[in-house]
Amino acid sequence: MKQIVVHEVGPRDGLQMERQVVPTDTKEDWIRRTMESGVDIVQVGSFVHPVKVPQMADTDELIRRLLRDKRSPVILAGLALNKRGLERGLECGVEMFALGASASETHSIKNTGMASMDAVHRIIAAGQEAMAAGKKVQVSVQSAFGCGFEGPVSEVRVLEMAAAYVEAGLFSISLADTAGHAHPAQVERLFSAVLELDPKVECTGHFHNTYGLGMANIMAALRVGVTSFETSFAGLGGCPFTKVAAGNVATEDFVNALQLQGLRQNIDLGSLIRVAGDVARYFDREMPGCVYKTGSIQNRESV
């Protein structure tokens, strides 16, 4: 088995739902400590309009700060949805672009203002431009397992979108369970089909825990060969443009599950637990994650 990639999305997918805008210095502290824990990728923020998502207005500044004295192998990523977002990412030096389009027409229009396949064509152009500039690129199919507005989403459409990415030479593909509707059998079926599109395809799973199936879906994806997963510190997050938003699988819960299976022992789980605890204290509420409250089974590390 390839090493499982842990992609922290708390600073982006986690914070974008919060009404309270977190100061840049606080975000930087959380991100630096998460980087030091040994995860592989941190999605620092998104290059979106600051009026629509004010929590992400400092993404460019955060990337610049983190790159200024960076000695860690952790990849700094940012999400972009259009050409202006791509330009901002290139200007500030982001190392990896996360680019996505939704398989749900309703979600696509609410999120990007355009139909699904129009968004795919725009994302493909942005992805090819980013790769030409020497950047890593991950493309995604959002609402791949269902939509809070429309309900079931056509698996044929999901595979058509993934095939369009592959045909364009974009082989790092995420299937995102934006509304949290996925279940394990569906996860196995869809990821298996995407992995069969081309031997060069590498898949990422992104699961929301709306109906309590997030971790079960991760394990289902692992069974069929998915090797990268996006999770959020303390289980924070959700898409602001879906009908019923709920948090992501917590990074510390996921790492705890991996380590119980003898995987990713090189990640400092205690450090992740402390970051999650600080996030919970900052927002002054209990977060969806479990392990930051209980400590790990193996080390009995308390909060």
For 150-159, what is each residue's pLDDT tens digit?
889 899 999 9
pLDDT, tens digit (0-9, with 9 covering 90-100), for 160-177 = 999 999 999 999 999 999
Is 239 part of the annotated catalytic residue set?
yes
- pLDDT at residue 243, rounded to an integer: 45
pLDDT score for 300: 57
| Average pLDDT for the chain | 92
Mean pLDDT in residue range 218-223: 98
Give me the pLDDT at residue 148, please. 80
Residue 239 has pLDDT above 80, yes or no: no
Q: Can you say how many angstroms the Cα of residue 25 is from the centroid of all Cα atoms in its chain?
A: 22
Average pLDDT of span 28-36: 98
pLDDT at position 150, please?
A: 80
Half-sphere exposure of 302 (CA within 13 A, CB side): 0
293-299 contacts, C-beta under 8 A, 24 or more apart: 296/256, 296/259, 296/269, 296/270, 297/256, 297/260, 298/256, 298/259, 298/260, 299/269, 299/270
37 in Cβ contact with 71 (< 8 Å) = no
| CATH match of 5-294 with 3.20.20.70 | yes
**Residues 6+ away with beta carbon under 8 Å from 240:** 16, 17, 53
What's the pLDDT score for residue 17?
84
Amino acid at 33: R
Per-residue pLDDT tens digits for 41-93:
999 999 998 888 999 999 999 999 999 999 999 999 999 988 899 999 999 99
C-beta neighbour count of 257 within 10 angstroms: 18
> Residue 246 — pLDDT band, cuts 50, 70, 90?
low
pLDDT number for residue 9: 97
Q: Tell me: pLDDT of 110 over 80.
A: no
Average pLDDT over residues 192-211: 96
pLDDT of residue 303: 47
Catalytic member of 92, 147, 203, 239? 239
